[in-house]
Amino acid sequence: MIDPWGSSSLDYERLVQQFGIKPFKDMVNDLETPHWLMRRGIIFGQRDYGRILKAIREKKDFAVVTGMMPSGKMHIGHKMIVDQLVWYDDHGADIYIPIADMESYSARGVDFETAKELAINEYITNYLALGLNLEKKNIHVYLQSKNPAVEDLAYILGKRVNFNEMKAIYGFNGSTNIAHMYAPLIQVADILHPQLEEFGGPKPTVVPVGVDQDPHIRLTRDISDRFKSQFHFISPSSTYHRFITGLTGGKMSSSKPKTAIFLSDSPEVAKNKIKTAKTGGRESLQEQKELGGVPEDCVIYEMLLYHLIDSDKELTEIYHNCKNGTIMCGECKNSTAEHLLKFFEEFSKKREKAKKIAVNILDK
Ligand code: TRP
Ligand code: SF4
């Protein structure tokens, strides 16, 4: 079982086979301008992405929905979602960004006031600073608890979902609180509401997420079928990206500060943190010269791959130089730290500007 509120290390290949997620790489060549996260295999899986390809190609309406649970600080891994949203905005999507304050209340005990503050000062600020123009008309950011269309739809959909089903999907039991049991239905409504008549009617919709969210996606797709005759929903598509590795080698997690580079870190702090990261280097320089490093198993390389190097050519060079033992980890770490420093110097300026805009986004 994949538990969206827990954490476990995941074997992506197995997930693809076991849960019927299809590989994304088959889609990459059909896109004229695939995102680097797509080209580089970081987005590894999809369901029904063909519909989205077609909408992009034929310049038809389509929606993107991806939410965030306001429960802590954003780390650099969260940047991946925003990077994708910027790409979808460039490709003509209608974008919906629910802030899951009902979910964080029921599953994490975060009160609504705190959630709203986090939403503005962390999420909305960072999204703006990462280049997503939330002031645009096609981009809709909302708090779940303040969106009657979503709440009404969730209630309506709840009529055809029962406890046994929720138990089987999420492992809920007799002592799970009822608000928590209801939270997934709110998320289902987040994903389906852009297809209601008042939001322009049925349209292909894609939900880009980490694979921990797949239980919600499967539930949404099932429920959309059950209500097909009433709402004419098109079953939503999804994509899945890999998680970024934490500095210590496990998962990067906001609740374990030692593992994470936060988007609100100062440039110096970010730079010093990356220097502590686990590499794919060998025991000794001698050994590394002979055998080469293991970039596949290196947090430094991953940072370059996911975030810091635009050019595929430059990245390939680093990969080969690592593999054949011509660069050593010390040097590689230092140059990555410089890249990161530069990124954060620019980003922290953008964050300052974004703060002023962020306070108005929820009321736009
Ligand atoms: N459950 C998601 C999380 O834990 C947040 C979320 C809420 C979401 N609504 C959504 C994700 C709709 C994708 C689509 O972060
Ligand atoms: Fe990682 Fe660079 Fe060392 Fe290779 S040389 S293992 S990419 S730090």
Examine the domain organization and report whether 175 and 288 are in the same domain. no
Structural domain count of the chain:
2
3-state secondary structure of 54: helix
Mean residue pLDDT of the chain comes to 95
Q: What is the pLDDT of residues 110-161, one digit of tens each?
A: 999 999 999 999 999 999 999 999 999 999 999 999 999 999 999 999 999 9
Q: Would you say residue 254 lies in a domain?
A: no
Kindly state whether residues 208 and 66 are assigned to the same domain: yes
Q: What is the pLDDT of residues 317-353, one digit of tens each?
A: 999 999 999 999 999 999 999 999 999 999 999 999 9
> How confident is the model at residue 3, as a pLDDT?
61
Q: Is 188 in the pocket of ligand 1 (CB under 6 A)?
A: no
Q: Which atom of ligand 2 is nearest to the CA of 292?
A: 4
Question: 336 lies in a domain?
Answer: yes
Residues 61 and 207 in one domain: yes
148 within some domain: yes
Determine, yes or no, domain membership for 341. Answer: yes
What value does the mean pLDDT take over residues 32-49? 95
**Residue 39 to residue 25: CA distance in whole angstroms:** 8
Rg (CA), the chain: 21
Q: Are residues 167 and 22 in the same domain?
A: yes
Residue 273 lies in a domain: yes
Domain shared by 103 and 64, yes or no = yes
The answer to whether residues 196 and 323 belong to one domain is no
pTM for this one?
A: 0.95
Can you list the positions of beta strands (E) in the chain? 22-23, 43-47, 63-65, 94-99, 139-143, 205-210, 237-241
Q: Domain for residue 317, yes or no?
A: yes
Domain that holds residue 58: 12-246
Backbone torsions φ then ψ of 315, nearest 5 degrees: -65, -45
Question: What is the mean predicted confidence (pLDDT) over 64-90?
Answer: 96
Centre of ligand 2 to C-alpha 319, Å, is 8
Model pLDDT, residue 71: 87
Q: What is the pLDDT, as a whole number, of residue 8?
A: 45
Say if residue 159 is in the same domain as residue 288.
no
CATH number of the domain where residue 330 is located = 1.10.240.10
- Determine whether the shortest distance from the Cβ of 67 to ligand 1 is under 6 A: yes
What percent of the chain is modeled with pLDDT above 70?
A: 97
Regarding whether 272 and 240 lie in a shared domain, the answer is no
Indicate whether 2 belongs to any domain. Answer: no
- HSE (CB half, 13 Å, CA atoms) of 80? 25
233, 303: one domain:
no
Q: Residue 45 — φ and ψ, nearest 5°?
A: -140, 165
Q: Which ligand does the CA of 333 lie closest to?
A: 2
Q: What is the mean pLDDT of residues 195-218?
A: 96
DSSP annotation string for 264-331 = TS-HHHHHHHHTT---S--SSHHHHHHH---GGG-HHHHHIIIII---HHHHHHHHHHHHTT-S-HHH
Instruction: Give φ, ψ of 46 to 5 degrees.
Output: -160, 160
**pLDDT(24) > 90:** yes
Q: Give the end of a domain, one of 246, 278, 300.
A: 246
- Same domain (yes/no): 172, 123: yes
**CATH number of domain containing 34:** 3.40.50.620
- CB proximity list for 22: less than 8 A, separation 6 or greater: 16, 45, 46, 47, 49
* Confidence at residue 14, expressed as pLDDT on a 0 to 100 scale: 76
* Residues within 6 Å of ligand 2 by CB: 279-281, 293-295, 298, 300-301, 322, 327, 329, 332-333
Q: Which ligand is nearest to the CA of 274?
A: 2
**Given pLDDT bands bounded at 50, 70 and 90, which one contains residue 2?**
low
Boundary (domain end) residue, out of 214, 246, 278: 246
Q: Evaluate whether residue 280 is within a structural domain.
A: yes
Q: Which amino acid is at 203?
A: K
Say yes or no: 154 and 270 in one domain: no
Ligand 1 in contact with 186 (CB < 6 A)?
A: no
Instruction: Decide whether any atom of ligand 1 lies within 6 Å of the 69 Cβ.
Output: yes
If asked whether residues 178 and 216 sit together in one domain, one would say yes
pLDDT tier for residue 6 given thresholds of 50, 70 and 90? low
Distance 212 CA to ligand 1 centre (A): 10
